[in-house]
Structure 1
Amino acid sequence: MISEEELLYALALQKTAKVGDIIAKRLIKYCGSAKAVLHEKKAQLLKIDGIGTNILADLKNTSNLKAAESELKFIQKENIHAHYFLDETYPARLQHCVDSPIVLFQKGNANLNASKMISIVGTRKATNYGKEFCEELIASLSPLQPTIVSGFAYGIDIVAQRAAIQNNIPTIGCLAHGLNQIYPKAHARYMKSVEKNGAFVTDFWSSSNPDRENFLKRNRLIAGMSQATIVIESAEKGGSLVTAHIANSYNRDVFAVPGRVGDSQSIGCNNLIKQQRAHILTSPADIVYLLGWELEAETHLPVQKQLFVDLTPEETIIHSYLQEKGQSLLDSIALECQFPIHQITPILLQLEMKGAVKPLPGKLFEAV
C-alpha cells in the first residue's frame, strides 16, 4: 500500500503538465519511486528516453507539489480511495494498459477487480430499441452478477447503470471530472445508488471540470477496466466508437449490437461488425460463451417443473438430446442437433435460465 508521502509525490508527478502517464511510469521505474523522481538530479533525468529540457523544467516546478498537498487534503477529507498503479488495490486489468493513470480515484466500495466486468456504452440519443435491448441484456445477465462499467452519460450509459441498480448488481461510473461534482447534473439523483452498490472512478482532480477533451481521455478507463466493451447503438462517429477502438488496442473483446441498414444510430455498430472490430451481439449467450463465463450453482434460478412444458421446439430438441446423450460439448450439441453455433448459444442460455440445462466446466452441458 502506498504511503501518504509517496502518494503526495505521485500526485505532484500526475500534476506535472508535460508528463503523461506513460512517461510518469517510465520515470518511476528508472528512479524507483515518485519521490525519487522529483529529487533526482537533472543530468540523470535527461538520460531517460523521452525526457527533454521542457519536461525537466516542469518536473522541477515546485508549484506541482503545493497543488498535490491541497489535493491530498481533499482526498482525505472526502474519504476517497487513491489507487497507486503499483498497489494491489489498483485494477489489475488497467495495469496492463500502457496509458493507464498512475493514480486512480474511487468513491464507493465496488470491487475494481471483480471476476466478471463488462463496459456498456452507446449513443446519447438512444432509441427505444437500444434502451430495451440494454435493459433486457443486463436483466438476463444478472444471475451472474457482473459489474457494469459505463460513463454515467446521457443515453445508453445511464440506461445501463440504472438497469444495474434495478437488478442489484454493481455498477461503476467513469467520470471525466473530479469527484467533487457530477455531470450531467440531471443524473445527480442516481449518485447515492451507484455509490451504495458500486463506485465512481476518475483520474481527474477536484480542480478539473467536465471539459470536452476529458471525455475522450476518460474513455480509456471504460475500455481498460473491463473484460469486454459492448456498444449498443452508435452513429457513424461518436465517443462510444472511440472507446471500442481503445478496447481493440488493449486486445480486449468488443461486442456490437447490429441494427437495420440505414438507421442513423446503428451505423457505428454495423461498421464495427463489418470491419471485424467487434463480435456481433444478439443475445446474452454471446457474452457468456465468448467470455467463458459459467453460472455457479448458487446463482441458478429455482427449477420449476412446470417450465419444462413451456419449452420452444428448438429448446425441446436440445433438451431431449442432452437427456439421451448426457454431458455434451457445445460443438457436439450444435452438430448433432443441426443448429449453427450462433443460434445454439442463446437457446442453451434460455434453457439454463428455465432450469432445464446446467453448464459444466470445459463448455460441457447436461440436462437437469
Structure 2
Amino acid sequence: MSTNTHHQIALTLVPGVGSILIRQLISYCGSADDVFRSPFARLIKIPGIGDVTARAILKQTVLSEAEQVVKRLEKLGASAVFYTDKAYPNRLKTLYDAPALLYFQGAGNLNAQRTIGLVGTRQATDYGRRITAEIIEAVSAYEVNVISGLAYGIDIAAHRASLSNGLPTIGVMASGLDIIYPNIHQKTAQEMLVLGGLLTESAPGTKPDAHLFPARNRIIAGLSDAVVVVEAAAKGGALITAEYANNYHREVFAVPGQLNQTFSAGCNKLIRENKAQIYINPKDIIEALNWDQPASPTGEHRLSKNDSLPLPVDITDEESQLIALLRQSADLHIDDLSWKTQIPMGRLASLLLNLEFRGFVRSLPGKKYAVVYV
C-alpha cells in the first residue's frame, strides 16, 4: 500500500478525529501525507483542530499503529478505501456522516448500478425467511447488489439467498474484517467474497461493540437504493437502519405482519407512521426503483436534437444550472444535485418541482431526477 494510504489509515486512529475532521484536515492540507508533515502553527489554524488534536497528530504515534493495520490488511487480501478514492462508494460521498475510510475484502463492486438492503430481526420466522428469499429471487434478474449486516436472522437469510441466486452480496460489519461476528457465519462470509464482499469502517482487530452496530446500520442504509425491513420488533437495529434510510432520501419498504406479533410490530409501525411503503410483492420494489424500464447499452440516456435547443428566456440561472447538470448524467440523486450546485435542499426541491411541472425534468424513484427526453 502507498505511503498516502498508510497516512490515511493513521488519520482515523488519531484520538478525537472523526470523519468530519478528517475531511477538514484534507481540505486544508491537501492530502493525508501533508497533514502529518504540517507544522503545529498550521494545524492549529484549521477550524475544529485544537491544541490537543494538533499535538496528537504531531506525535505521529499512530503511524506505527497504522503500519500494523496495513500488515493485517495485506494478510487478509483486503484494501483500505479513502473517501477521495475512485473505488469509494458514490452513494456515500454526499452523506454528511459517511466514514472517511472503509476497509473492504472481496471481489465485489462498491459502485454497482443497483443495490438493495434487506434487514430485520435476529429472531426471524419462517415467514420472514420466505419473504426474504422471495424478494431476492425476484430482483436477481436485475443484477442487484444485496446489502445486509451478516447478523443472525433476516441478515444471514438475505446473504444466503443472494448466494443461491448468484447475486453479489456485501456484508457490512460492526467489527474488523478479521473478526466475523457471529463466528458461525464464517463459511457464508467466505463464500460472499467471490462476487461480493465484507465492508467495515473498523480497523482489523476491532471487536464488535454495542455502539458500533448503529454506526454500521447507517452504512447499510447509505449503500442501498432501497431498504426493505422484513421483520422487526418495535425497537431495534432494523428500525435504526430505516430511520437512516429516510434521512438519506432512500426508498423504504416494510413487510406487514400479523397484529400482536412481536416481530411484526416494527414493520407495522413504520407503515402506520408513513416511514415506509407497504410491501405486497417484489413488483412494488422493482417499479419504485424503475428497474423495469429499459436502459441503453451504455447505461446513459440518449439526447434528442431538441435537447440542444436554447432554453426559454424565463429559465433562471439556477434552473439552467440544474438542467445542464442533469444533461451530463443519466440521472442524479437530489443529494448530488445539492452538493454540486450548493443550492440549499429546501430551495432545490422547489426548483425541481417547478421544472417538473413545466416538463423539463422528471422525478425518478429513489429521489433521483433526469431531464425529459423526446
TM-score with structure 2 setting the length: 0.76
Does structure 1 retain, via aligned residues, the 8 Å contact 2:179–2:205?
no
- Asked if 1:106 corresponds to 2:104, the answer is yes
1:284-323 → structure 2 map (5 Å cutoff): 284-294=282-292
- For 2:188 and 2:283, locate their aligned partners in 1 and report how far apart those are by CA, in whole Å: 29
Deviations 1:235-259 (A, max 9, x none): 0110111111111221211111112
- For 1:125 and 1:165, locate their aligned partners in 2 and report how far apart those are by CA, in whole Å: 21
2:90 to 78, 89, 92: 92
SS at match of 1:100: coil
1:71-90 → structure 2 map (5 Å cutoff): 71-90=69-88
Q: Which residue of 2 aligns with 1:142?
A: 140
- For 2:76 and 2:127, locate their aligned partners in 1 and report how far apart those are by CA, in whole Å: 40
Q: Which residue of 1 aligns with 2:251?
A: 253
Q: Which residue of 1 aligns with 2:230?
A: 232
RMSD of equivalent CA atoms: 2.0
Q: Which residue of 1 aligns with 2:56?
A: 58
- For 1:256 and 1:242, locate their aligned partners in 2 and report how far apart those are by CA, in whole Å: 13
Change (3 A) 1:60 1:146: same
Q: Which residue of 1 aligns with 2:196?
A: 198
Q: Which residue of 1 aligns with 2:118?
A: 120
Deviations 1:14-51 (A, max 9, x none): 11121111111111112111122222232332333222
- For 1:159 and 1:115, locate their aligned partners in 2 and report how far apart those are by CA, in whole Å: 23
- For 1:216 and 1:172, locate their aligned partners in 2 and report how far apart those are by CA, in whole Å: 17
Does structure 2 retain, via aligned residues, the 8 Å contact 1:172–1:201?
yes
Letter in 1 for 2:20: I
- For 1:54 and 1:267, locate their aligned partners in 2 and report how far apart those are by CA, in whole Å: 47
Q: Which residue of 1 aligns with 2:157?
A: 159
Number of aligned residue pairs: 298
Shift of 1:85: 0.8
- Asked if 1:267 corresponds to 2:265, the answer is yes
- For 1:42 and 1:119, locate their aligned partners in 2 and report how far apart those are by CA, in whole Å: 44
- For 1:231 and 1:158, locate their aligned partners in 2 and report how far apart those are by CA, in whole Å: 14
2:239 to 241, 244, 247: 241
- For 1:21 and 1:225, locate their aligned partners in 2 and report how far apart those are by CA, in whole Å: 17
Does structure 2 retain, via aligned residues, the 8 Å contact 1:144–1:295?
no
Tell me which moved more, 42-51 or 170-179.
42-51
SS at match of 1:60: helix
Question: Could you list the runs of 5+ residues in structure 1 that have no partner in the other structure?
Answer: 298-361, 363-368
Does structure 2 retain, via aligned residues, the 8 Å contact 1:178–1:206?
yes
SS at match of 1:208: coil
Does structure 1 retain, via aligned residues, the 8 Å contact 2:151–2:182?
yes
Shift of 1:191: 2.2
Deviations 1:55-101 (A, max 9, x none): 32332332211101111122223221221211111111011222222
The percent identity for this pair of structures is: 41
- For 2:24 and 2:273, locate their aligned partners in 1 and report how far apart those are by CA, in whole Å: 34
Does structure 2 retain, via aligned residues, the 8 Å contact 1:18–1:58?
no
- For 1:60 and 1:230, locate their aligned partners in 2 and report how far apart those are by CA, in whole Å: 45
Structure 1 stretches (4+) deviating beyond 3 angstroms?
A: none
- For 2:247 and 2:45, locate their aligned partners in 1 and report how far apart those are by CA, in whole Å: 29
Shift of 1:295: 6.3
- For 1:57 and 1:255, locate their aligned partners in 2 and report how far apart those are by CA, in whole Å: 47
Q: Which residue of 2 aligns with 1:348?
A: none
SS at match of 1:192: helix
Q: Which residue of 2 aligns with 1:209?
A: 207
- Asked if 1:49 corresponds to 2:47, the answer is yes
SS at match of 2:263: coil
Question: Could you list the runs of 5+ residues in structure 2 that have no partner in the other structure?
Answer: 296-370
